Chain A
Amino acid sequence: MKIKTSIPRKIFIVCNTVFLLIIALACIAPFINLLAVSFSDKTAVAAGEVTFFPVGFTTVSYEFITNTSKFFVSLLVSLKRTAIGVPVNLLLIILTAYPLSKSTKDFRARSIFSWFFVVTILFNAGLIPTYMVVRNTGLIDSIWSLVLPGALPVFSMLVVMNYMRSLPKELLEAAYIDGASHVQTLLRVVLPVCTPTIATVMLFSVVDHWNSWFDGMIYMNHIQNYPLQTYLQTVVVNPEEFMRNNTDLGGNLSKYLSMVSARTTGAAQMFLAMIPILIIYPYLQKYFTTGLVMGSVKE
């Protein structure tokens, strides 16, 4: 479909691009600042000289962290958590969204099940009761305590369910007439056209698992089982302690301490922690765009 570009349209496009550009700059500035701080000399950072470019460029903060075993131990826990948690989330989202995407006419219990799930968004029982349930299921100190309690992200499920509901009725009817069962319909007809929305909720899931820290703190008995964000939280809250107690460096500790500060190492750790998300994100984004083609369900 080709459209002739009119003059007002051109003006709009230019304004739009400039506007988006300003917004994009506002969003990225703090990150550039973070990155610059992580590569800067500590005195320059303390004096507030660092804005968007490193001052006194050095990679010593990164050396300091990558010599810390705790960082990598908890990185591993986080990777494991994400690798288990995201597939579990997706499986349950799909299994739940499909039945609930049926109309009330076709699946009479859908309304009550929907409310059954939605209510859980609203009621949070608080620390102690939640802890008791996880303890009684015997999951304390296991990676599953970080996966199973939130196995069904209700919000994501609703998003997928809504997407499934908006699929053309003819598609499902055709499958039904062909004699396909529910499972066959889900696998062969519905899922293939749901890629964009599943990519979206998968990203939500990844980010969620990657960024959660409170559950790790409560359900894990030993700090060597902390996921990365839980560990980072202790570092960010108490940077001075972290600095002084980084005994993995042995005799080099005092040498490093003269070169790095809590802020530079904090920035470096934040940045390292973001890398997995930055890697996975463009990959998933590809699916948003291919969704453009798949969104039209013409055979």
Chain B
Amino acid sequence: MKKMKSRSVLPLALVVVLVVLCISACGKASTESGGNTGTSQEKMDSVGKYENPITMTWAVQTAAASKLLDNETYEDNRWSRLIKDKLNINLKVAFSADSSTDAYKNKLNAIIASGDLPDVFKTQDSNVFLQLAKNGQLADLTDVFEKYASDSLKAYKERFADSFKGATIDGKLYAIPRMNDNFHEAPFLWIREDWLKNTNSQPPKTIEEMVALAEKFATGDPDGNGINGDTYGLALNKDLIRQNHGSILGLVSAFGVPGRDESMFYRDENGKMTFAWIQPNVKEALSLLADMYKRGLINKEFTANNESALIEDITSGKIGMAYGSNWGTWYPYNNVYKKDGVIVHPYAIPTKSGYDYKMGIESNAVGQMTMVSANFKHPEAVINMLNLYDETVNYKTKEDYLKYWADEQYRLSPIYIDQPGEVYAVDLLKALDKGSSEGLAPAAKPLYDYIVGFEDGSLANDDNAFGTWGQMSKSGSLPIVLNKYIPDNAIVQSILGIERPEVWLTNVASLDTLTITAFTSIITGSKPVDYFDTFVEQWLKAGGQKTLDELDKMYPAK
């Protein structure tokens, strides 16, 4: 027995020593990190150019910014040179990762945990933002914004007050938010114009007409290839409740349900906190879909198709009708236009008599945040940079605009005015009526040119022009929201802001699974429609009820 002990001592001791060494190394290294050079007393001139150069590290989101032109690199490009020239700031890439996959998110979380925050970085994840702010790791931008922001920037802050409120925690501004107004998230029904013509049909106004049209598409020969029934009626994809092409959002809207992914919480007409997908009317919508599926009006394989599989079918001309978002002409229907020269038009969702239609949108407080590390000695540099961005892109020549903004080049600036062009839809419509872009916000002027250029044919083959035209021209998607959805009082904004109940964060994945599984089973007929009642019960039991209670306290009724 004694022998056995002694022979295991040597290797065991070795292991223990090594592990201890390693752990202590870890601890040491993390306390040492975060040493940043430079002093906050650097001199600069009135537009923010530093006398002595300072260095700023930043995180590059590559999927979106991977368009590098003219042999530029992330380290050396038009923006890095402009910033060096005008502000005397040396930009350094802390890390680059793909933000369209989980790569950026994973990398950022690892970096956050190790305490090596870049000076400037972005996140879409409101919880990450909230945690960083609460742990004192973000620079408070309140004062530097007041002191250094141009009047133009301050005007943005007024106009997009909700977004800036989302970036403000305990009264302090901790990020420059995405400046958004989410009215444009409402759903539409997209239909190929040639299929409508080939089947002698009108765009459907009611759900019944939509079903009839789906039947024509599914059983007839809308694409005119001589074969009946090789096309789909209404196209769905397996994610169903996400805001993308092939969702059911537009359909449930007709039944008065403001459905939108897993986060659509709101107060109903009685002021009671509730959740979109547990509304009794969802059952009616599902019952209709189940019937359509049974009759073969829905692509049988939708359960295995994600959005990109669906887009293959769209491009190859098997799909003529799907619910989807406002950007259809940007993607995926730009492919159809390029391939066949056919326009796929957005229409207001068909309604159901006896129901007031409702559509759900995200809270304006939620969106991508551009943050500054608390260790960065020059938070004012970020504001100066934003001034420079605003001036270069929005107030200079058209050449500058094309050089620094177009083709997503703006993303090469560590911080930019992050806003969708959609927010200018109202102004644009007015300008188009007037026939002049005068008086438009600088960021909206190029959009005006795109629309006019597409309509007069000079930009007929320009992707940007087609995309913009399908959104913001008179026959685009957004006028439908402005002239119909909003006057009809159909838009319901989610109450869920940056702050979210703990119980929801832990359970959201399983609640989400529960929802999609139940809906898929009902549509494909593997569960009866009455299963919906069981689903509601399960949803409430699995953390849903607690979430509603917490939200009721977190976001009290006004």
Direct contact of A and B (CB under 8 A): yes
Residue of B nearest to A136 (CB): B29
Q: How far is the CA of A240 from the CA of B29 in the complex (A)?
A: 41
B110 and A234: CB pair below 8 A? no
**Known contacts A128-B109, A218-B107; A135/B114 CB under 8 A:** yes
In the complex, the number of residue pairs spanning A and B with C-beta atoms less than 8 Å apart equals: 86
**Known contacts A218-B106, A247-B67; A223/B96 CB under 8 A:** yes
Cβ 8 A contact of B96, one of A108, A135, A222: A222
Whether, in the assembled complex, B20 has its beta carbon less than 8 Å from a beta carbon of chain A, the answer is no
Whether, in the assembled complex, A275 has its beta carbon less than 8 Å from a beta carbon of chain B, the answer is no
Chain B at the A interface: mostly helix, strand, loop or mixed?
helix
Q: How far is the CA of A264 from the CA of B392 in the complex (A)?
A: 40
Q: Given the complex, which residues of A lie within 8 Å of B63, measured CB to CB?
A: 234, 238, 241
A217 and B315: CB pair below 8 A? no
Q: Given the complex, which residues of A lie within 8 Å of B7, measured CB to CB?
A: 108-109
Q: Given the complex, which residues of B lie within 8 Å of A217, measured CB to CB?
A: 97-98, 103, 106-107
Cβ 8 A contact of A109, one of B8, B110, B114: B8
B68 and A247: CB pair below 8 A? yes
Whether, in the assembled complex, B93 has its beta carbon less than 8 Å from a beta carbon of chain A, the answer is yes
Q: Given the complex, which residues of B lie within 8 Å of A237, measured CB to CB?
A: 100-101
A245 and B66: CB pair below 8 A? yes
A245 and B67: CB pair below 8 A? yes
Q: List residues 445-501 of chain B with CB under 8 A from any CB of chain A.
A: none
**Known contacts A109-B8, A245-B67; A234/B103 CB under 8 A:** yes
Whether, in the assembled complex, B62 has its beta carbon less than 8 Å from a beta carbon of chain A, the answer is yes
Q: How many residues of A contact B (CB 8 A)?
A: 31
Whether, in the assembled complex, A118 has its beta carbon less than 8 Å from a beta carbon of chain B, the answer is no
Q: List residues 5-25 of chain B with CB under 8 A from any CB of chain A.
A: 7-8, 10-12, 15, 22, 25
Q: Given the complex, which residues of A lie within 8 Å of B25, measured CB to CB?
A: 136
Q: How far is the CA of A133 from the CA of B316 in the complex (A)?
A: 49
B66 and A241: CB pair below 8 A? yes
Q: How far is the CA of A127 from the CA of B108 in the complex (A)?
A: 11
B70-110 near A? 1/0 per residue, CB < 8 Å = 00001000000000000000000111111011010011011
Whether, in the assembled complex, A47 has its beta carbon less than 8 Å from a beta carbon of chain B, the answer is yes
Q: How far is the CA of A43 from the CA of B74 in the complex (A)?
A: 35
Q: How far is the CA of A43 from the CA of B315 in the complex (A)?
A: 10
Q: Given the complex, which residues of B lie within 8 Å of A233, measured CB to CB?
A: 101
Whether, in the assembled complex, A113 has its beta carbon less than 8 Å from a beta carbon of chain B, the answer is yes
Whether, in the assembled complex, B42 has its beta carbon less than 8 Å from a beta carbon of chain A, the answer is no
Q: Given the complex, which residues of B lie within 8 Å of A222, measured CB to CB?
A: 74, 93, 95-96
A136 and B26: CB pair below 8 A? yes
B101 and A238: CB pair below 8 A? yes
A247 and B69: CB pair below 8 A? yes
Cβ 8 A contact of B100, one of A43, A112, A238: A238
A132 and B97: CB pair below 8 A? no
Whether, in the assembled complex, A131 has its beta carbon less than 8 Å from a beta carbon of chain B, the answer is yes
Q: Given the complex, which residues of B lie within 8 Å of A283, measured CB to CB?
A: none
Q: List residues 29-51 of chain B with CB under 8 A from any CB of chain A.
A: 29-30
Q: How far is the CA of A240 from the CA of B312 in the complex (A)?
A: 11
B316 and A127: CB pair below 8 A? no
Residue of A nearest to B8 (CB): A112
Q: How far is the CA of A247 from the CA of B308 in the complex (A)?
A: 22
A123 to chain B, nearest CB (A): 13
Cβ 8 A contact of B116, one of A47, A133, A135: A135
Q: List residues 227-252 of chain A with CB under 8 A from any CB of chain B.
A: 233-234, 237-241, 244-245, 247
A131 and B113: CB pair below 8 A? yes
Q: How far is the CA of A36 from the CA of B109 in the complex (A)?
A: 41
Q: How many residues of B contact A (CB 8 A)?
A: 40
Q: Given the complex, which residues of A lie within 8 Å of B10, measured CB to CB?
A: 109
Residue of A nearest to B312 (CB): A46
Residue of A nearest to B331 (CB): A240
Residue of B nearest to A141 (CB): B95
B11 and A116: CB pair below 8 A? yes
Q: Given the complex, which residues of B lie within 8 Å of A221, measured CB to CB?
A: 93-96
Q: Given the complex, which residues of B lie within 8 Å of A239, measured CB to CB?
A: 308
Q: Given the complex, which residues of A lie within 8 Å of B67, measured CB to CB?
A: 244-245, 247
A11 to chain B, nearest CB (A): 43
Q: Given the complex, which residues of A lie within 8 Å of B331, measured CB to CB?
A: 240
Q: How far is the CA of A233 from the CA of B110 in the complex (A)?
A: 20
**Known contacts A116-B15, A217-B103, A223-B62; A127/B96 CB under 8 A:** no
Q: Which of A116, A222, A238 has the most CB of B within 10 A?
A: A222
Q: How far is the CA of A47 from the CA of B315 in the complex (A)?
A: 10
B340 to chain A, nearest CB (A): 11
Q: List residues 277-325 of chain B with CB under 8 A from any CB of chain A.
A: 308, 311-312, 315-316
A226 to chain B, nearest CB (A): 10
B66 and A131: CB pair below 8 A? no
A234 and B95: CB pair below 8 A? no
Q: How far is the CA of A136 from the CA of B539 in the complex (A)?
A: 44
A127 and B11: CB pair below 8 A? no
Q: How far is the CA of A222 from the CA of B92 in the complex (A)?
A: 11
A131 to chain B, nearest CB (A): 4
A113 and B106: CB pair below 8 A? no
Residue of A nearest to B103 (CB): A217
Residue of A nearest to B332 (CB): A240
B107-123 near A? 1/0 per residue, CB < 8 Å = 10110011010000000
A118 to chain B, nearest CB (A): 14
Residue of A nearest to B27 (CB): A136
Q: How far is the CA of A150 from the CA of B94 in the complex (A)?
A: 25
Residue of B nearest to A108 (CB): B7
Q: List residues 96-127 of chain A with CB under 8 A from any CB of chain B.
A: 108-109, 112-113, 116, 127
Q: Given the complex, which residues of A lie within 8 Å of B106, measured CB to CB?
A: 127, 217-218
A206-234 near B? 1/0 per residue, CB < 8 Å = 00000000000110011100000000011
B11 and A234: CB pair below 8 A? no
A154 to chain B, nearest CB (A): 15
User: Which 4 pairs show the lowest CB-CB distances between chains A and B?
Assistant: A131-B110, A221-B95, A46-B316, A108-B7
Give 16 A-B pairs besides A128-B110, A217-B107, A223-B97 with Cβ atoms closer than 8 angstroms.
Answer: A47-B316, A109-B8, A127-B106, A128-B109, A132-B110, A217-B98, A218-B106, A222-B74, A222-B96, A223-B96, A223-B98, A234-B63, A234-B98, A239-B308, A245-B66, A247-B69
Give B contacts to A, CB under 8 Å: 7-8, 10-12, 15, 22, 25-26, 29-30, 62-63, 66-69, 74, 93-98, 100-101, 103, 106-107, 109-110, 113-114, 116, 308, 311-312, 315-316, 331
A-B contact pairs, 17 of them (CB 8 A): A109-B11, A127-B106, A128-B110, A132-B113, A133-B26, A217-B98, A218-B106, A222-B93, A223-B96, A223-B98, A234-B103, A238-B98, A238-B100, A240-B308, A241-B63, A244-B67, A245-B67
